[in-house]
Chain A
Amino acid sequence: MNVLTCADDFGSMMTCIYEAYACRLGHRSIRLELEPILQPELFCQYRQVDFDEKKAAAVIRSIQEKISWEAWQLVYRAAMSWQPHRLDCIYRFLLLGFHFGASVTDMLQHPAVSGLFALSRNVMNEAHYFREFIRFSSAKEKFLVSHIEPKCNILTLVAPHFSDRMPSEYWMIIDDTRNIAAVQPADEPFYLTSVTEEEMLRLKQAEKEDGITVLWKEFFHSISISQRASARRQRTMLPVWYRRHMPEFHE
């Protein structure tokens, strides 16, 4: 078995798929894995693939042109998952996709297709949760800051949503687990950037000084009907895990 490995970012994953095709070893004897490889297996040949912009771009273009836009979206979203086997799933899906073309996304009977759908669905569900439950706080009235700790890498999937609805605000969403942020200065497009420890601390402070949260909590408690109280239903709809950065659940 030949194992191609690459770094855990989208560009490297696409390059890795390019190499899997290019090496012509036969698809059955290839596996794709993300680094770090914790427990190398015996009798496996490991080969490391490095990011190559041209190769990655070629793969992306082929998916969009030879399969479909829908397939491209599925692949991108699945790649944002946290599941370790996602790269190999994408590869298996693309093998079918390049063979059957656009109709591949209707072939839910095939495990490679339903597997990719499941990954993508999982990512989109989480992205949707964050569109709903992200909370900004306003630091000194100048900009809006939000902290998230998602399982999947959903920053690029939620930022366009806020970009559309708050084009003239200065805001940033910080992924605390990955130390990256989406930042949008007022009336400009958003960009991704990494965040240093020191910046992180400064921003944390700002979060505590927002006076509007008191009014929000007041509203949140006043709007609930005590005769219908149901912590169980509340928990099903809004898992406790998401509540960390939601001021209405803080004392």
Chain B
Amino acid sequence: MITVKKEQSLQEKLHILADAAKYDVACTSSGSDRRGKTGFLGNAAAAGICHSFSGDGRCISLLKILYSNECIYDCRYCVSRRSNDRPRATFTPVEICRLTMEFYRRNYIEGLFLSSGVCQSPEYTMEKIYETVRLLRTRFHFNGYIHVKAIPNAPEELLTLTGFLVDRMSINMELPTEESLKKLAPHKSFRSIFQPMKQIAGGIMTSRLSSGKSPTLDRHRSNQYLSGSIFNRKALEDSTVSPSDAPRGFDLSLKKEQTPFIPAGQSTQMIIGAAPENDFLLLQTAQTLYRRFDLKRVFYSAYIPVNEDPMLPPPDTAVPLLREHRLYQADWLLRFYGFQAEELLSPDRPNFNPLLDPKCDWALRHLEHFPIEINQAPFETLMRVPGIGSKSALRIVNARRFGALDFTHLKKIGVVLKRAKYFITCSGAMMYRIPMEEKFITRQLTGEEYQANWDISHPQTYHQMTLFETGGFSV
């Protein structure tokens, strides 16, 4: 690799290292709740805060940058791979601290998301990441959100030290099978990903227990009323993590540090569409990660063909945005609505329906459960109705104690009647006389969703062609 020797300005570095970081999708600042304190800058809000939206419509919440893109590895799908001829740059830890502080004071960001290519060695890179967050917390008195990438094959001790300073840590899984990983990321292996994941999980568990919390992360409260939830007791039995998995040096640090270890939990990311895996496998993998390692979030990143490579889709392949969107919707159903991957997909139907969101799709295949009565159905059943979210389900349960609800009430409560009307009755009556017939309802719903789906997969186009508007999708 040729390194340009010319002195780069901070702006040039920022350009190169933000550009190289943009393919990582995670930009949330959620999961930590921390008040501010005198003499420090920053706090953390559990729900996360977005501060801007970039030209691709994605939320900007954190200063998302690489420490360095001078990578010694050669993962096929990555722009920063060694074999690509690209401008390279490396920040100094102090430069990163200054940027974070100045951006935060101006309310541009909630904090820092620091990732990196493998510069010199995994150990050297992780060392620098650690140094950066240590300076940021101790010398610069930064109390806002920090998310760092754990570098595969870095020494455990560094995970320990770093984990007590940050809110979230993540290791990208990228590909859900060992085979694809070997093919596309020859320097990585399942072991180099799962081992630190497990150590981090063990550390989080130990830290939680030592401060009197439950061993696993707190999930959305609706989960406790959902018998099918992937986070119920059964999940604990599936977990293979125990406090003894915590990384080396953990117990010593736990006594010394006053802060919790990675309080916002760990996350990971999988690339969609670079390898041949289907949606079912991806969703099951996500479900397993939630259960076994108590991951806070799994992110899905539609593969953008950046490299010309015989093992990858050709550069003009469309970015699978709608597929990515469906996976997020399904992930949502797992985490908040008590669904399981096996209810949504199966070996016979391994991919999501591009025309319908996964909840509608499920409901249409289970019309025998519908219509349900709004004034009587249990919370768990309400949550399965398309058009009823967890907030409205809760509101329905509270409000109906004071009298029967009708369709106008539901509308005010926030139910999306456009979708829900096919599946519910209020005091015995449906909104219109609607036949409970699968084909009919499917046509209605796909007609209504068509525009939204089209918009997602064609982000740059403003107007739908009239040909499609009348192309048999509306009734």
Contacts and interface: CB of A to CB of B under 8 A. Distances in A.
Contacts of B395: 108
Contact of B14 (A135, A136, A169, A218): A218
B399 interface: yes
A166 B144 CA distance: 10
Contacts of A233: 53, 56-57, 459
A63 B40 CA distance: 37
Which of B18, B108, B143, B144 is packed against the most chain A CB atoms within 10 Å? Answer: B108
B403 interface: yes
Contact of A220 (B54, B99, B403, B459): B54
Contact of A166 (B51, B105, B409, B455): B105
A23 interface: no
A198 interface: no
Interface residues of A, number: 53
B470 interface: no
B190 to A, nearest CB: 28
Which of A118, A210, A212, A219 is packed against the most chain B CB atoms within 10 Å? Answer: A219
**Interface size bracket, B side:** 35 or more
Interface in B134-172: 143-144
Given A220-B54, A224-B55, A169 B462 contact: no
A232 interface: yes
B58 to A, nearest CB: 7
B327 interface: no
Contact of A109 (B19, B41, B399): B399
A210 B89 CA distance: 26
Contacts of A226: 55-56
Given A108-B409, A108-B413, A230-B459, A225 B304 contact: yes
The SS class assigned to the A binding surface is: helix
B43 A237 contact: no
Given A108-B412, A135-B106, A218 B11 contact: yes
Contacts of A114: 412
B52 A224 contact: no
Interface stretch (B31-39, B123-131, B440-448): B31-39
Contacts of A223: 18-19, 21-22, 54, 60, 64
A134 B107 contact: yes
A146 to B, nearest CB: 7
B459 A133 contact: no
Contacts of B56: 224-226, 228-230, 233-234
A210 B102 CA distance: 11
A204 B438 CA distance: 61
A201 interface: no
B105 A136 contact: yes
Contacts of A214: 11
Given A168-B38, A187-B38, A144 B106 contact: yes
Interface of B: 10-11, 14-15, 18-19, 21-23, 35-43, 49-60, 63-65, 99, 102-103, 105-108, 143-144, 302, 304, 319, 321, 395, 398-399, 401-403, 405, 409, 412-413, 455, 459-460, 462
11 contacts: A103-B402, A132-B51, A168-B41, A212-B102, A215-B10, A226-B55, A230-B56, A234-B55, A234-B56, A236-B57, A237-B57
Interface of A: 103, 106-109, 114, 118, 131-138, 144, 146, 162-169, 187, 210, 212, 214-216, 218-234, 236-238, 246, 248
Given A144-B106, A163-B36, A223-B64, 9 more contacts: A136-B105, A137-B106, A138-B102, A162-B107, A165-B36, A210-B106, A226-B56, A237-B53, A237-B59
